Chains A and B, each alone.
Chain A
Amino acid sequence: MVQFRSKIALVVVFALFAASPALSATLRISHNLGYGGRESLDPISPTRFFEANQMIYDQLVRAGPDGQPNPALAIAWSSSPDLAEWTFKLRSGVRFSNGEPFTAQDAAYSLQRILSPKLASPVRSVLGIMDSIEARDDMTLSVKLKQADADFPIVLTDYRVRIVSSKAAGGDLDAVNDSGIGTGPFKVSKLDQRGTTVLAANPDYWDGKPGVAEVDIMAIADQDARNQALLAGQIDITEVTPGEIGLFSSNAKFIVQRVPAGLWNPIVMRTDTSPFNDVRVRKALRMLADRQSLLSLVVGEGNGAVACDAPVWPGDPYYNSSLSCPADPEGAKKLLGEAGYPRGLTVDLYTSAAQPIMVPLAEAYQAQAAKAGVKVNVRVVPVDGYWSTTWMTPNRPFVVGNWAQRPAAQVLNEVFRSGAKWNETAWNCPDFDALLDEARRSGTIDERKALYAKAQAILAEEGGAFIPFFRNEIRVYSSSLDHIDNVPSMMLRWHKITKK
């Protein structure tokens, strides 16, 4: 028996050694199972599997470190003088992972399907201004807009606007296209949203051969488990909260990267549901907060910037820096009195650890609200499926949200335009929509800046989102990784990353 065991041990040791060269070329990341295993390879699906999609499919135009549009599958673009028609010159010689060549047909198909009412993609609210899209020839794409939009290429940098193969779904614009056939640096080997999804490098990638042979995307719903997985070497990279930096900072095996960013966590008040349908209540619930103190309590000084309920971050050219939002609990009490709550208000605030700061934020806000006579019952619900069963459901009018940094034109249209799929505050304001339309039509950046500033001021005054601060992104990765740019995760160029 003993002999048999030692033989097994020998085989195991041998197998480990034999396997190690292959393992070293595998980049291992995680996703948080936010859609409970329904993560889809269709890049525009409401439950898109972003962690995989960003590596499988390319964008036409990608966001550079400054947020400005950089060439990807489109190498050049120009607009008609009235800004209502845009022409894109496409990259030639690019092939899909099944060997088919990439053409303007695929690009046109990928944009057209965004407009499909049947697919009901959240991206539709961002790109709804597209009127007709056509492939002029194999390498030229033309997009006519319903109205002028000077920032159309910036809007195209949306993280979900990615090129899929038109043949994969037989050209059907209403079909879910989750084939995984893209032009990206990696292709799908095995899809397992609840377990480990395996992607293999595409050696013929147009922007150079990927730095690793394989990417494993593991489903880890729990932040602590992700940290432990990183510490134990099971994954190579993850995002952490400021409180968790200490786990890694003194360890030479890890590199902590602080990325200036405009991530935001709103406390969402549905403007169509009582008591939040009263603008005075919304204003009071925002006014009572001491944002500086929330920032220092929840993310720490130096890890973010105070926000005034507008989602455009200080790094954006359209940021409105003139908004101010001092704490005024007495004023809040007065407003609540006027709104019919002279003895305060009791509300249930739903949150989850979908993003680790979401529970501390709720608790810190709860303490501040109590001082203004508002009793906030914090209801912590499980992470799995939070975005499908709690967020944006009618009987949960008061929840904590989580958004990545987005350019002004994108975020204002996607999250605050009336009728937008992810309009979490159910914000419906024709004047506000008109401002957004006008901004798109404006030819000069100064005009657009003034109009977007007005739109932000409306949100700060009357909107349904309480946005206390913008967060930086804090990323920790194994020191065996290299070539990780200091940009938000959504803009990372995964194929450039190498692993020792």
Chain B
Amino acid sequence: MADRDIFAEASYHFSAPAQASSPVNTFSDRSLWKLLRAIVHKPAGAIGVLFVLFHAIVVLTGPWIIPHDPLAQDPRTILAAPSWAHPFGTDLLGRDVLSRTIVGGRIAIAITAIGALLAVVGGAVAGITAAMRGGLLDAIMMRLVEAIGALPYLLFLLLLANFFTGGAYALIPALGIFYGTAVVRVSRAAALSVASSDFVAAARVRGERSSTILFREILPNVLGVIVVDGAIRWAGMLLGFSSLSFLGFGVAPPTPDWGLMISDARNVMAIAPWATLWPCAALASLILGVIFLADGAGKALGR
């Protein structure tokens, strides 16, 4: 688990102002299909789509494709090496690692997906509002965002996890708030660059209402940035949530969860590496997939 959140810095790729004078590419310019084709066209994007698609299929079909009950303990197969019966081996309580890995991402993905949505929507609204209003509100919000950004991310998450007690799902607001602050910064920067452009000025001169300017003029032009940034946040959140599970604050035993599986088996990593290797591989491939996909999407959208 990294000391600092590498994903917090990733936002700088997107915070550079887009071309201010002309409207930038937006989702409305191309159909989703065209966008997907553009993403797949880049090697990184293709890998991302492949990984994410693979995980999506596994998540959706998980309960039907697992070879064993992921909770079934068996004293006869404790830390058994990979075999035909248990292709990924077994863990400390003789449970099948393959089955546990297959269903071990479901809760993390569900929670972080909702958390990411919360972070993106909340962060975008806050960021664009700050950009449009400016003044004291903007200053206060941005100092707050910077203050949170200055805290070591795991420490801050642990603080929030202690506050929002009551199981894994109670962590959704904590994750949303923490990762949302980065979205505020990115969407504010993007909105600022668009807000100063001529077509927004024109809309103001026409006497359009603020909400119209927000939804008609600004949002379509910053949506691409926000969605790509949101995907990066999601990847970061997956790692953050798994770290919390690893530390005992996320999913409670015996529910299979990658972070918890890694934590449970790390003491025996040298003699039974499979019990930590597979959940690590699953988590890493999903995070990489999401990042590659976001990267591909960013490139396809011209950023």
Which A residues form the contact surface with B (CB < 8 A)? Answer: 223-224, 227, 231, 241, 243-244, 246-247, 293, 296-297, 300-301, 356, 359-360, 362-364, 366-367, 377-382
Are A367 and B71 in contact, CB atoms less than 8 angstroms apart? yes
- Binary CB contact string for chain B from 263 to 283 against chain A (1 if under 8 A, 0 otherwise): 010111111100000000000
B264 proximity list for chain A (CB < 8 A): 359
Which B residues form the contact surface with A (CB < 8 A)? Answer: 71, 73, 75, 78-79, 92-94, 247-248, 252-254, 264, 266-272
Report the bound CA distance from A377 to B93 in whole Å.
17
Are A247 and B254 in contact, CB atoms less than 8 angstroms apart? no
Given known contacts A293-B75, A382-B248, A362 and B253 CB-to-CB distance under 8 angstroms: yes
Are B75 and A247 in contact, CB atoms less than 8 angstroms apart? no
Are A380 and B267 in contact, CB atoms less than 8 angstroms apart? no
Are A297 and B94 in contact, CB atoms less than 8 angstroms apart? yes
Are A300 and B78 in contact, CB atoms less than 8 angstroms apart? yes
Given known contacts A364-B93, A367-B73, A380 and B78 CB-to-CB distance under 8 angstroms: no
Are B94 and A378 in contact, CB atoms less than 8 angstroms apart? no
The chain B residue with its CB closest to the CB of A383 is: B248
Report the bound CA distance from A247 to B267 in whole Å.
9
Question: In angstroms, how far is the closest chain A Cβ from the Cβ of B153?
Answer: 19
Report the bound CA distance from A188 to B271 in whole Å.
38
Question: In angstroms, how far is the closest chain A Cβ from the Cβ of B268?
Answer: 5
Report the bound CA distance from A496 to B92 in whole Å.
36
Are B267 and A360 in contact, CB atoms less than 8 angstroms apart? no
Given known contacts A243-B79, A243-B92, A382-B248, A227 and B254 CB-to-CB distance under 8 angstroms: no
The chain B residue with its CB closest to the CB of A241 is: B267
A364 proximity list for chain B (CB < 8 A): 73, 93
- Tell which of A224, A362, A378 touches B267, judged by Cβ atoms closer than 8 Å: A224
Are B78 and A297 in contact, CB atoms less than 8 angstroms apart? yes
Are A297 and B267 in contact, CB atoms less than 8 angstroms apart? no
A356 proximity list for chain B (CB < 8 A): 267
Are A381 and B92 in contact, CB atoms less than 8 angstroms apart? no
Report the bound CA distance from A231 to B268 in whole Å.
13
Report the bound CA distance from A101 to B270 in whole Å.
51
- Tell which of B75, B78, B248, B270 touches A381, judged by Cβ atoms closer than 8 Å: B248
Are B92 and A380 in contact, CB atoms less than 8 angstroms apart? no
Are A359 and B78 in contact, CB atoms less than 8 angstroms apart? no
Question: In angstroms, how far is the closest chain B Cβ from the Cβ of A270?
Answer: 21
A241 proximity list for chain B (CB < 8 A): 267
The chain A residue with its CB closest to the CB of B269 is: A224
B254 proximity list for chain A (CB < 8 A): 363, 366-367, 378
A382 proximity list for chain B (CB < 8 A): 247-248
B79 proximity list for chain A (CB < 8 A): 243, 246
Are B252 and A243 in contact, CB atoms less than 8 angstroms apart? no
Nearest 9 interchain pairs by C-beta: A296-B75, A246-B271, A380-B248, A378-B253, A224-B267, A297-B75, A363-B253, A363-B254, A247-B270
Report the bound CA distance from A293 to B94 in whole Å.
12
A247 proximity list for chain B (CB < 8 A): 268, 270-271
Question: In angstroms, how far is the closest chain A Cβ from the Cβ of B242?
Answer: 15
Are B92 and A360 in contact, CB atoms less than 8 angstroms apart? yes
Q: Which of A223, A243, A246, A247 has the most CB of B within 10 A?
A: A243
Question: In angstroms, how far is the closest chain B Cβ from the Cβ of A305?
Answer: 15
